[in-house]
Amino acid sequence: MKTINLKKENGMLVVSTPYNSEFVNRAKNLGGRWDAKNSTWVFDESVEDYVKQTLLDIFGVTGEASYETCSLIVRNFTKNAKKSGVELFSRTIARAFGRDTGAKLGEGIVWIDGTKVSDGSYQNWNTYIENATFEIQDFPIERTKFEDVQKAVSEGWCEIKIVKKQRTREEIEAEIANLKNRISELEHESSNC
């Protein structure tokens, strides 16, 4: 699963995200170019604030630092998308590329039940999902605070499932170093009082 990630390299911003049509449109408008070799978007650093805001608007995180994730369990979902993929909560659930291609699952989607097909005419094809139950994995917890997710949860067709992941040694060591720095700052502040 591709996570949201933003880093600076040689005066450029390099961004990776799961596929999202709104992000693609906004990335192009910001002068971003697709690097197919690395599956990333590349932007000039001069648009850094706009890129970060776009990431926050769509995914709830900028990807500059690691972030907590969860899974969303979606039940009884039906949607049709003309000449594109079906997206929900900024994630592609399934995407067809023509009438006879079938609907391929998006990144981090676990299909449990329901129908997913490509249909329509040769020139006017659709991605169609009906009565689907699926899990969206590696979903940023910050994104669950958006109105669309909160509404779905309150209506009962979406459930947030917190997944406990084993932290790496590097993550734990970084947290310890940050806590030691904070303790040192507090000790310094209290000695100056």
Answer whether residue 16 shows pLDDT above 80.
yes
Structural domain ending residue among the three candidates 59, 86, 105: 59
119 and 101 within one domain: yes
**Per the domain annotation, does 167 fall within a domain?**
no
74 and 52 within one domain: no
Chain segment 126-145, per-residue pLDDT in tens: 999 999 999 999 999 999 99
**What pLDDT was estimated at residue 144?**
97
Structural domain ending residue among the three candidates 21, 37, 59: 59
Question: Containing domain of residue 19, as a range?
Answer: 5-59
pTM of the model: 0.81
Answer whether residue 167 shows pLDDT above 80.
no
**What pLDDT was estimated at residue 182?**
84
pLDDT-derived band at 121, boundaries 50, 70, 90 = confident
85 and 143 within one domain: yes
55 and 75 within one domain: no
131 and 80 within one domain: yes
List C-alpha distances in Å: 55 to 23, 59, 114, 155.
Answer: 8, 6, 31, 27
What single DSSP character describes residue 62? Answer: -
pLDDT-derived band at 53, boundaries 50, 70, 90 = very high
Side-chain-facing half-sphere of 165: CA atoms under 13 Å: 15
The alpha-helical segments, DSSP class H, found in the chain are: 21-29, 48-59, 147-155, 169-191
**Per the domain annotation, does 193 fall within a domain?**
no
**Per the domain annotation, does 191 fall within a domain?**
no
Q: Rounded to the nearest 5°, which phi and psi values hold at 45?
A: -60, -20
**Per the domain annotation, does 145 fall within a domain?**
yes
| C-beta contacts of 111-120 below 8 A and 24+ residues apart | 114/77, 120/82
Q: Which two tokens stand for residue 97?
A: 């590329």
10 and 47 within one domain: yes
**Per the domain annotation, does 34 fall within a domain?**
yes
Q: Which two tokens stand for residue 113?
A: 């039940």
Pair type for strands 91-95 and 12-16? unpaired
**Per the domain annotation, does 170 fall within a domain?**
no
Answer whether residue 156 shows pLDDT above 90.
yes
Residue 41 CA to chain centroid, in angstroms?
A: 14
85 and 14 within one domain: no
108 and 35 within one domain: no
What percentage of the chain exceeds 70 in pLDDT? 97
Q: What residues pair up with 33 in beta bridges, in sequence order? A: 42
In the predicted model, what is the mean pLDDT of the chain? 92
130 and 152 within one domain: yes
77 and 156 within one domain: yes
133 and 104 within one domain: yes
**What pLDDT was estimated at residue 165?**
67
Alpha-carbon span 104 to 12, nearest angstrom: 32
55 and 24 within one domain: yes
Q: Into how many domains does the chain fold?
A: 2
Alpha-carbon span 69 to 67, nearest angstrom: 6
**Per the domain annotation, does 155 fall within a domain?**
yes
